[in-house]
Structure formats: C-alpha cells, structure tokens
A and B are shown apart, each in its own frame.
Chain A
C-alpha cells in the first residue's frame, strides 16, 4: 500500500481531532447491512511493484505489437514514428499530472499549449477556429452532426457511403436516441467515390452532409463539388479526416468549402494504443463558435496587461447550461492534444509536407508491388497512404493466414462490412514512413504464396 502515506499513528491522531473512535464510525451513513466487513472475496490482496510488473508484462507479451511485424493496418488508426522528445515531454509531471486549467494564473503552461494546439488544428484544417479537442474522431463526428442540427434547425444527416463504418455505427447509435434521421449508403468499391449518388441524396431537410477525406478506401474525393451542392440546399458540409498526415500534401477541407472539419488526431504524437485514448479534432467557421461543443481556450490579459490564456465561452458548457448545453462533454483529451501539438511543432509545415510525401511514396511503392501479383487488382485511382485491393477470395481468411506468418497485413472489408458480402474480397492496406522495402517484400511474398495455394 505504498501509495498511502498515513501511518497508524497519523490515523489515531486524526481520529482524535475528528472525535471518532474508529474509521468505520465515519461510514455510519452507509446502512449497516450494506457495509462490507472485510476485503471483497475473490480479489487478490495488495502486491509489490515487482509482482504487478511481472503480471502485466506477461499479458503484454501475449500481443504481437506493430513494431515487431511487417505492419499494414490503417482504417482510422495509423502507425507513425513519434519522436522521442514527444513522450519525454508529456511525461513531465507538470503536464502529466495537472488537472483541467480552472485556475488560469497557475495553469498558463497547459493553457498556452491549448491555444497553440487550437491554432495548429485550425491551420491544418483550413478552418477559422478549432476547439481544445474531444474524445476521438468518431465521437467528434457525431458532435459535428448535432451541431449542424442546432445551426440549421434540421434533423437529417446525409452520410457518404465511404465514411468509416464504425463512425457510421456511432452516429446511428446516437441518432436512434435523439430522433435524427441518418441517410447512409454502402460503399462502392470503385476507383472513385460515388459523388453523384451522394449529391442526389441532399434535400431541403438536410442539416449536414458528412464526407470522409481521404475516405474509408483511401480515395480522395472532390470536396468542393459536394460543398457547393450542400450549400445550395442550405446544408452544411462536415469533412472527416481520419489521417491528418494527409493534409501535409492534399488541400485543407476548410479551403474547399467544408463548414465543420473533424478528425482523429491519433496519427501525430499519440500512438495506436489498441483504440484509445485517441484525440478528437474539431474546427469550424468562426460564426458557429457559440454552437461548438467542448472546451475552448482564449487569449486575454492579466491585471498587469500581460498576454494570458484562459478557458472561455463556458456558458455553452454543461456546468453552466446543464440540460441546455451544446454537449454533455466535460473533459477533453488534454494530454493527447499536448502530444499532437509537440509532434506538430517538431515537424512544422515543412516537416509535415515532407512526412506526407514519404508516406505517399511508400504507399505508391506498395501499390506498385501488390498490383503486380496475379489475382490482385488495385481499386483506387487516387490515394494518400492507404488504398484498397481486390483479392480473388475472402480477405478475412487472407488476413488470418498472414497473421499466422507473423505479418499484420491490413484490414479486410469483411471485418468492416460483415453484412455486405459483395465486397469481402476487399483488403485495405496502408504504408507509412515506418514501412520498409523489406516489409513490403514480406507482405507481397506471403500474398503470392497464399493466393497461389488458394488457386491450386
């Protein structure tokens, strides 16, 4: 019980001050019948640091980590190299163990970081403003739809067929309870996303059109055309970026007419972490600021006129407006935002552009190699670092066969779209700066073997 500093002497002395005989006398409001008389049965007693470390290390060792295998997974979570100084800096106790910056005079460090983070996100997305982060990309996406509903006073969201199916599922869960109408579609496994189909579904009741960029198959659509079509019907365009590194190379959604841009910030500084904690990015036009969810940091001055930062516009939030708040969200992903911001500061626009180029060229190398394998066809006509290939067999089986050979070979469309059998030959593969030529050869060689065995 090394985390508990009170000694037996301390406890006795403090009980004396309180005027109680035993600690249990402080629990008298808990009905006697419900009070536990000893440690809960079936749970272990306290353990040494060494013993706990041994147990947890044994669990960790049962997993095949991305760095220990040729690795090609993406689909909303990407493996990038994180410079050592990022993790080192976020572990400084003054960042790591700070709470929400409610007292600005002694939280300027966190607040300045949030202000810098907001500016970085806004510039990356091409939006006027950004907030201080949300839980993750998928929940940020729902928050954007809810916000578009408040702005347009309409209840319908039209989703691109190529929006990440887990994002779609998250949105549908919420909409079931709020009564919003969600118009979605299955993806078309084609070289280009089905923009005409999407535009055809926008009508006068539409609050928001939601488009992923690049989309779930890695294709880069034409946001400008969709923005114009949405605006013509009085709807807002929400762009969803699951791979922010792409924006080092392709145009910012805000510059193409997106009204709200949300994203998953995990790619920069945060790491894979088996799905969480991740980092929801959220930017929008300045005129929507009072409808925005989440925390905001603003610039101001102190009593001596020095530039200072503070959490602001909290009258939108749940602790002031309660049931009328823009969202029930209370926390942000502060530490992940810090990691993102440090990584972005190390890169700068120049480094980000270079990183993006390296990602894209690795993906090209992968695409060239894979599309030369008999039976494999590249689907995409455009892509950044992720694309879809068609296999002659169910890709779920192939992924399992690759895992048996120690290769983490991509995400099968069958796992993402279990109910849409027509596309189960689809395999999503991703290459980043962490992918080597040897990794690509290992995947290609194994695929050749597996597919040849399949054919035989």
Chain B
C-alpha cells in the first residue's frame, strides 16, 4: 500500500505573535467578518487568472534593447481567488445600497440600475473617441441631447461638456471667464470667493493664476452683499458663489449680486454642486449667473464608486458661450451631429456661427465622460421635467424634516434663517466638555449609519452638515433621526464610550496621525509566498 502523504506535511495553525491584537479565533476572522490579506500576500508571482491566446512568433528586433530585465513584480490570483478577494473587501464598505450617505455638499443618492445597463450597451461603451464621426452619430446625438437638457434646466445659452469632474468644471468656467476678459483686452487679476465656499473654488482660481480674496459671511450664513459691493472694482475678474450655499441656504440676493458684479465688469461663477435642491424650481440663468458647473454624478446620479469618476459639464451665459472648450458637438440642418475639433473649429465657426466661436482650447485628451452622459440622460428621461422638480422638492422637504426634528437637541446655527435647502447644518455647541463633532460621527457609525459631513463648512465651529437627498423614505429618515438623537443625547451627557467609538466595525478608530507622520503608500513587504519574482521568460537580449 502506498503512503497517502509520504512527506507527512500538514498545514500548521498560524503562529500568534506576542503582540497580536486580541482575537478569539486563530484566523482573526469573526464569523462572516473575514480578515482579508493584501494581494501581495495572497498571490503568486507565476499565478494568473487569465487565459491568453498564444500567437505564433518570437519577440525580435522591433523591441530589441527595450525589453524589461524582469517581468513586473506583480502578484496574480486565479479567477476564483480574485472574485473572493474583492467580494470580501466589498463587505467592509458602507455604500448607498446599504443605507443613506447623509454627507452634506457631497450628495450621494440612489443609483438606478437602468443607468448601469444603458451605459454598458456596446454602442456606448465599446466605441473609440477617434472613430470617424459618421460611425458614432448615436453617441454624438446623446451628448447633444444631454446638452440641451442642461441648457433648458438652467436657462443658459451654451454648455461645455468635456470637464471630467466638478473641480475640472470650475476650471473650465474660470478659463471661459479669463478668455472672455482677454478677448476684450481686460487683464483683471482677482477672484472673490466667499469664506463658505468649497475648497475647490479658491484652489481653481489660484490654478488659473488669479489672486484669491475672501468675502465674509453675514451672521445668518449668507454672502455679505455690502462687503462684496465694497470690494468690486476694475481688478475683479469674477466672483465664485455656491448657491444653494454650503450652509444649506439659498442666496436670496443672487440677482443683486450678479447685477453688481456685471456692473463692475466682472463675471459670476456659480458652484452648482448643490443644483439638485433647485432643479426644475428656478433657473440659474434667470439669476444672472454666467457659468455654473453641474455635477452630473450628484444631481443626475452616477455611482461614484468610492470617490469617482465624476462629470462636470459647465453651462454658460451668452457672453461666455463662444469661449468654451474643444471639442464640442453641433447639429446642422441636415441632421448630422458634428464633433468640432481643432481640425475644423475655425472653418465650422465661420460657416455656422459667423466666426464668433473662439474656444480657449482643449481641457483633456478626448470629449468628456461619455459613461456619465448616458447615465445622466437616462436619469433625466426617467424623471422628466415634472420628476426633476419633484427631486428638488423632496430633497428640500427631507432636509427641513431633519433640521426641525433635531434643532431642539443639536445647535443649528442658521435654523432661524428660515427653511434650509437640501442640507441641514448643525454645530457641536452645547455638547459636554471634551465632546465634539467627531464623537457624534463615530457614534453614528455604531448605529449603522454613515456619518454626515464633519468640520465643513469652516465658517461654523464643529460643523455637521446633513444631506438626506430625495431618495430617502420617511421611515429611513426617522431611523436616522432616532440614531442621531440618541448619539447627541449621549454626547450631551458625556458618555465616555463615545470617545472610543466605533466599536462594532471591521476596524476600530483608525490612527490618521501615524499615517500622515510616517507615510506608507505602497506595500514593501517580503515577496509573495510562492517565491521571488523571476526574470522574464521572454528575454531575447
């Protein structure tokens, strides 16, 4: 009889390090909550999960002298191992599919699966940006159709589709303003930005070589119109305003602000990140705004998987429209949609726009986030003009419901200013000594919710900005309110357990200071278990 296991080898239980964190199990796993190693600790240097068709032939002179000395030191996993690795990791994430993301000014709402299905149609997903335009008429029609929705919803004259995210859209808007000013020989140097603005606004203006000056806020959380008017002058290129603003309030003086800026020869940029609160209710064009980016991924939903991608088209007033970026789409009377690139921009402008189109140039290699365009258009068509107005109404209703359900317990600095828009702002005033916004946020995690935006806007000490969005049900809001009330009461009573929250997550409170003090940005451990990286078999030197 043959010995079944002649070497006698058996897997051994992992040795527990003396300083290993307390865990009741040998693996560190707890039931369905699995500790997942890094791919560099799981994979083998020779392992692969892809079967690649071999082609006859040798690598010859066409590469000689350029071959890499060793194949890339990247571990591979088989297909089943790969599926498990990423599925296990996914279970350590909070996501909108699990519950609300009440992050103010970040707007994360239900992501309809129809959008995903449409974006994956080969006619949209599997087309190349440089295909002959005759072979992509449907895609160009889609962009054109979306462009007209955006112009109609905002009451604006033109739209630039190519910006790749909200901050890229801001840059586009500011570049349009700069180009328009330069076209009239005006070299203004200053951009005014209210204190409450998103940090991207001043960063954008600085990146476009403008000097940034702050405009203070009034006691009720709005732009100080008098201070703004005082500062306006021949050196001010633009004012960047967020409306609805980051205190969750509409700027009722918007038209007066626009008129004053225009009178002084400048332009008005509006940060449109919060457009979902007013879509279908008011058109920014009617308020005198010259340029506004629209986060398609926020107002019109796109998944945003863990931080992006986004998409930031910019709607433009008549004065700024000629200066938008290349390429752009234009439909001619014969029904053809053209993609106007450097190649024919001048001739096209001459023939169809009387030569007025004077693009400031290209902002990115190709023409924008097609994958987001299809999702946004699908979402718009599903809602329609009536449904989009209801989006704004329900998002505002939900936010005010949160505000009024909590203002007796949590300090709400602008609750007296009237209704809020899509987000409700609270502060940490009135909590027990030593307790702060962070404790509320981490306590909320133990209750099963993603926390609200914390410590923003900067104009409010210990700010908490709660944005429920319109896709939350009343039951869902009530659960969130119960959780927030409970945590707030504990923070007011000085419950020490909050200081070490969260307690029930895959990881306890994470040490952010150590990460920043001694940055470890790549894995530098020992090679993978199956051995050292080997020189490439494809040598040929």
Contact = CB atoms under 8 A, between A and B. Distances in A.
Interface in A308-325: 308-310, 312-315, 317-325
Contacts of B73: 123, 349
Nearest to B369: A276
B281 A30 contact: yes
A26 B400 CA distance: 8
B385 A79 contact: no
B519 A289 contact: yes
A85 B118 contact: no
Contact of B306 (A61, A101, A309): A101
A88 B86 CA distance: 11
Given A4-B387, A272-B128, A350-B71, A400 B134 contact: yes
B511 interface: yes
A89 B93 CA distance: 14
B370 A274 contact: yes
Contacts of A298: 515-516, 519-521
Interface string B199-229: 1101111111100100000000000000000
In this complex, the interface size class of chain B, counting residues with CB under 8 Å from chain A, is 35 or more
Contact of A83 (B63, B79, B171, B308): B79
A358 B52 CA distance: 8
Nearest to B310: A331
Nearest to A410: B130
B516 A315 contact: yes
> What 4 pairs across the A-B complex have the smallest Cβ distances?
A348-B76, A275-B366, A60-B123, A335-B305
Interface in B326-362: 326, 341-344, 360-362
Contact of A332 (B135, B307, B361, B366): B307
Contacts, number: 723
Interface stretch (A15-23, A226-234, A444-452): A15-23
Contact of A43 (B137, B207, B304, B384): B384
Interface in A68-112: 68, 71, 73, 75-77, 79, 83, 85, 87-110, 112
A362 interface: yes
Contacts of A56: 118, 121, 142, 374, 377-378, 381
B281 A27 contact: yes
A148 interface: no
Contacts of A104: 507, 510, 512
Given A10-B474, A139-B364, A170-B363, A98 B95 contact: yes
A349 B45 contact: yes
A418 B344 CA distance: 8
A190 interface: no
A63 B68 contact: no
Contact of B203 (A300, A323, A336): A323
A46 B388 CA distance: 9
A272 B209 CA distance: 34
Given A98-B95, A177-B175, A278-B365, 19 more contacts: A10-B473, A14-B398, A20-B419, A35-B282, A56-B374, A89-B86, A89-B90, A96-B111, A115-B521, A115-B522, A139-B168, A172-B361, A275-B129, A278-B366, A297-B521, A348-B47, A349-B45, A353-B537, A355-B52
Nearest to A73: B128
Contacts of B515: 298-300, 310, 312
Nearest to A382: B62
B67 A251 contact: yes
B126 A271 contact: yes
Nearest to A430: B128
A275 B163 CA distance: 12
B46 interface: yes
Contact of B445 (A103, A166, A271, A275): A103
Nearest to B90: A94
B152 interface: yes
A320 B512 CA distance: 15
* Majority secondary structure, B binding face: loop
Interface string B497-540: 00010100111111110111001111100000000010011100
Given A64-B135, A94-B93, A108-B506, A335 B387 contact: no
B158 interface: no
A365 B170 CA distance: 46
Contacts of B512: 104, 300, 310, 312
B55 A346 contact: no
21 contacts: A1-B383, A4-B391, A18-B397, A26-B396, A36-B280, A36-B283, A115-B521, A135-B309, A139-B168, A166-B362, A275-B129, A277-B311, A302-B509, A306-B507, A310-B515, A328-B171, A335-B304, A348-B74, A353-B72, A411-B130, A414-B343
Given A99-B103, A277-B369, A169 B110 contact: no
A456 interface: no
Contacts of A118: 521-522
Contacts of A128: 522
B499 to A, nearest CB: 10
B51 to A, nearest CB: 9
A349 B76 CA distance: 7
B393 interface: yes
Nearest to A271: B125
B306 to A, nearest CB: 4
Given A177-B178, A249-B63, A30 B278 contact: yes
B221 to A, nearest CB: 11
B207 A178 contact: yes
Q: Max chain A CB contacts within 10 Å: which of B126, B282, B500?
A: B126
Interface in B273-288: 278, 280-283, 286-287
A107 B93 contact: yes
Contacts of A89: 82-83, 86-87, 90
Nearest to B380: A43
